[in-house]
Amino acid sequence: MRTFFDARQHDHAPAMELHNGAYVPYAEHRGRMENVLEALSYVEAPRDYGMEPIRRVHRDNYLEFLQSAHPRWVEAGRNGDAHGYAWPVVGRRPLKLNRIDADLGQFSFDASSPIAAGTWTSAYWAAQSALAATEAVLAGERAAFALCRPPGHHCGADYLGGYCFINNIAVAAEAAIAAGKKRVAILDIDYHHGNGTQDIFYDRGDVLFVSVHADPATDYPFFWGHADEHGEGEGEGATLNLPLPRGTDLAAYTAALDTGLAAIRDFGADMLCVSFGADTFAGDPISQFALQTADYTPIARSIAALDLPTVIVMEGGYAVDALGANVAAFLAGFG
Ligand code: Q9C
Ligand code: ZN
């Protein structure tokens, strides 16, 4: 399968993240991509599609913040990565503040996604990889893979979080629509609910969002991904959440996935965008499902059976030593 990756996606290198009350080494690190690159025969660099396709998804003030946040952090006399510590949860209003710490709170929803010197560059090129995979599929490729890092499905139009800065799958879906696709289905099979993607398309009737994920009653991102969220306005009925309990194995996973695939068939999609996270793997250090490497092939086969032009975008997956094998097993299902 044609696969897109840019070496500048390695530039993003935060040192530590806040995890269960302590600062620990950042789980979403470049070693993930190195393991996948070893498992795949070759990858292509994307061309540069510029800012316009990113601006279809994200607000200008957020994109300005993302590009300037780390330089402003340094200018404020700080060392290391930019971390927020105060959030406008109560009585929030669109204040325009100049303090970097205020903006870090305004434009994020959690404390797990520090901004490092290379963050913007890597997020930009991850989005370009998603656009290159989209272009390949629009040109007739049956499926293409964007090896995105950083991932994207937790960030919204004007906020980052969950290791995500630019929503790559939303950028891909909007590019497909701009190129003439009428009804795009997004299938999110990362362990975590894709709250940012859901939010971006919540009131849209032309984009179906289907997600199979760990029940947010027990797992991050907690506040979104519950079964009673189904879209609003024009998007009423175009969001489908299928939360599953910790410990879910292939049999239970497949049952939920089949429900999601049936919804995509009923929607009449003319394009499929898959947010693929391998953090559903049994050995994932921050997740609690029980899928095995070999399970990813039949999962992908049942998705491929939709017979839709398909863009696949990398999301999470933190069992680094198995990540390449898990990705390869998934892509093999499209072969
Ligand atoms: N103690 C993705 O897989 N940290 N993001 C959870 C649990 C955030 C995962 C901390 C996990 C984000 C793309
Ligand atoms: Zn995840």
pLDDT digits (tens, 9 = 90+) for 155-206: 999 999 999 999 999 999 999 999 999 999 999 999 999 999 999 999 999 9
pLDDT of 305 over the 90 cut: yes
CB-ligand 1 contact for 162 (6 Å cutoff): yes
Residue 162's region, left for phi above 0, alpha for psi from -120 to 50, else beta, is left
Which pLDDT value is given to residue 220?
98
* Burial of 182 per CB tally in 10 Å (0-12, 13-18, 19+): exposed
- Which helix (H) or strand (E) is 128 found in, with range? helix 119-138
Tell whether pTM > 0.90.
yes
What does the block give as tokens for 65? 């913040």
Which pLDDT value is given to residue 31?
98
How many CB atoms within 10 Å of residue 210?
A: 27
**Domain residue ranges of the chain, discontinuous segments joined by +:** 2-15+24-59+119-332
What's the rounded mean pLDDT across residues 295-306? Answer: 98
Q: Is the Cα dihedral 61, 62, 68, 69 positive or negative?
A: positive
Q: Which ligand is nearest to the CA of 190?
A: 2
Which pLDDT value is given to residue 40?
97
Whether 67 and 120 have beta carbons less than 8 Å apart is answered as yes
What does the block give as tokens for 229? 């969220």
CA–CA distance, 49 with 47 (Å, rounded to integer)? 6
* Burial of 326 per CB tally in 10 Å (0-12, 13-18, 19+): buried
Closest CA to 115 of 73, 152, 63, 149: 73
Whether 1 and 145 have beta carbons less than 8 Å apart is answered as yes
What's the rounded mean pLDDT across residues 276-287? Answer: 98
Smallest CA separation from ligand 1 atom 3, residue: 316
What's the rounded mean pLDDT across residues 260-272? Answer: 98
Q: How far apart are the CA of 77 and the centre of ligand 2, in A?
A: 33
CA–CA distance, 269 with 130 (Å, rounded to integer)? 19
Quickly state the pLDDT bin for 92 (edges 50, 70, 90): confident
Best substitution site from 16, 28, 169, 195 to test ligand 1's pocket, by max atoms within 8 Å of Cβ?
28
**ipTM field:** 0.96
pLDDT digits (tens, 9 = 90+) for 245-259: 999 999 999 999 999
What's the rounded mean pLDDT across residues 59-67? Answer: 98
Quickly state the pLDDT bin for 94 (edges 50, 70, 90): confident
Which pLDDT value is given to residue 100?
98
Percent of the chain with pLDDT over 70: 100
Smallest CA separation from ligand 1 atom 6, residue: 220
* Active-site hit among 10, 58, 70, 154: 154
Q: How far apart are the CA of 251 and the centre of ligand 2, in A?
A: 20
Question: Which residues does residue 311 pair with via DSSP β-bridges, in sequence order?
Answer: 144, 273
Which pLDDT value is given to residue 107?
97
What's the rounded mean pLDDT across residues 279-296? Answer: 98
pLDDT digits (tens, 9 = 90+) for 98-121: 999 999 999 999 999 999 999 999
Which pLDDT value is given to residue 19?
94
What superfamily would CATH give domain 2-15+24-59+119-332? Answer: Histone deacetylase domain (3.40.800.20)
pLDDT digits (tens, 9 = 90+) for 214-253: 999 999 999 999 999 999 999 999 999 999 999 999 999 9
Verify cis geometry, omega within 30 degrees of 0, for the bond prior to 150. Answer: yes
What does the block give as tokens for 235? 């998007």
Smallest CA separation from ligand 1 atom 11, residue: 162
CA–CA distance, 196 with 155 (Å, rounded to integer)? 4
CA angle 46, 47, 48 (to 5 degrees): 120
Mark the residues whose beta carbon lies below 5 A from ion ligand 2. Answer: 190-192, 277, 279, 316
